[in-house]
Amino acid sequence: MELLLLALAIGITALAYVQVGLGTARAVPTNILTLAGGMAGIALLFHVVLWWRARYADPVILPVVTLLNGLGLVMLHRLDIAKDRGLASGVAGRQLMWTALAVAVAMVVLVVLRDHRRLRRVTWTCAALGFMMLLSPLVPGLGMSNYGSRIWISLGPFSFQPGEIAKILLTIFFAGYLVSARDALSQASPKVLGLRFPRVRDLGPILMVWGLSILILVFEKDLGSSLLFFGLFVAMLYAATQRLSWILLGLGMFAAGAFTAWRLFGHVQQRVTMWLDPFSPEALAISDQVPLGLMGMANGGLLGTGLGRGRPDLTYFAESDFIVPSFAEELGLVGFMAMMVLYAVLVQRGLRIALGSRDGFGTLLAAGLAFAVALQVFVVVGGVTRVIPLTGLTTPFLSAGGSSLLANWTIVALLLRLSHDARSPIPLGEGEAPDDDSPAARASALARSTREVAA
pLDDT per residue as tens digits for the range 102-156? 999 999 999 999 999 999 999 889 988 988 888 888 888 777 776 666 777 877 6
Residue 308 has pLDDT above 60, yes or no: yes
Q: Compute the average pLDDT of residues 400-429.
A: 89
Structural domains in the chain (count):
1
What gap in Å lies between CA 49 and CA 107, rounded to an integer?
7
| Predicted local confidence at residue 162, as pLDDT | 85
In a domain, 442, yes or no: no
pLDDT confidence band for 329 (50 / 70 / 90): very high
| Predicted local confidence at residue 432, as pLDDT | 46
| Predicted local confidence at residue 406, as pLDDT | 94
What gap in Å lies between CA 283 and CA 270, rounded to an integer?
8
Task: Give the predicted TM-score (pTM) of the model.
Answer: 0.88
The domain in which residue 133 lies consists of 1-423
| Predicted local confidence at residue 303, as pLDDT | 93
| Predicted local confidence at residue 152, as pLDDT | 77
Residue 154 is classified by DSSP as E
Q: Could you give the count of Cα atoms lying within 13 Å of 378 in the half-sphere of its Cβ?
A: 14
Q: Compute the average pLDDT of residues 253-257.
A: 85
Alpha carbon separation from 142 to 129, 130, 259, 402 (Å, rounded): 16, 17, 30, 18
- For 192-208, how does the pLDDT look when each residue is reduced to its tens digit (9 = 90+)? 666 666 666 666 777 78
Of 53-57, 164-168, 249-253, give the lowest mean pLDDT range.
249-253
User: Among candidates 234, 228, 198, 201, which has minimal Cα distance to 213?
Assistant: 228
pLDDT confidence band for 36 (50 / 70 / 90): confident
Phi first, then psi, for residue 148 (nearest 5°) are 95, -20
H or E segment to which residue 267 belongs: helix 266-276
Residue 281 has pLDDT above 70, yes or no: yes
Which range scores top for mean pLDDT: 222-231, 282-291, 414-423?
414-423
Of 146-150, 325-329, 434-438, give the lowest mean pLDDT range.
434-438
The overall average pLDDT reported for the chain is 85
Q: Compute the average pLDDT of residues 83-91.
A: 76
| Predicted local confidence at residue 433, as pLDDT | 47
Higher-pLDDT residue of 92, 155: 92
Q: How many residues does the chain have?
A: 455
| Predicted local confidence at residue 241, as pLDDT | 82
| Predicted local confidence at residue 194, as pLDDT | 61
Contacts of 52 (CB under 8 A, 6+ apart): none
What gap in Å lies between CA 368 and CA 353, rounded to an integer?
11
Q: Considering the chain, what percentage of its residues have pLDDT values greater than 90?
A: 46
Residue 316 is classified by DSSP as T
| Predicted local confidence at residue 226, as pLDDT | 82
Q: Could you give the count of Cα atoms lying within 13 Å of 174 in the half-sphere of its Cβ?
A: 33
Contacts of 126 (CB under 8 A, 6+ apart): 119, 169, 170, 172, 173, 176
Residue 455 has pLDDT above 50, yes or no: no
Residue 435 has pLDDT above 60, yes or no: no
Of 104-113, 140-149, 364-373, 418-427, give the lowest mean pLDDT range.
140-149
Alpha carbon separation from 440 to 143, 148, 406, 422, 432 (Å, rounded): 47, 52, 34, 11, 9
In a domain, 285, yes or no: yes
| Predicted local confidence at residue 430, as pLDDT | 42
In a domain, 70, yes or no: yes
Residue 296 has pLDDT above 80, yes or no: yes
Which range scores top for mean pLDDT: 265-269, 419-423, 431-435?
419-423
Residue type, 204: G
What gap in Å lies between CA 216 and CA 135, rounded to an integer?
8
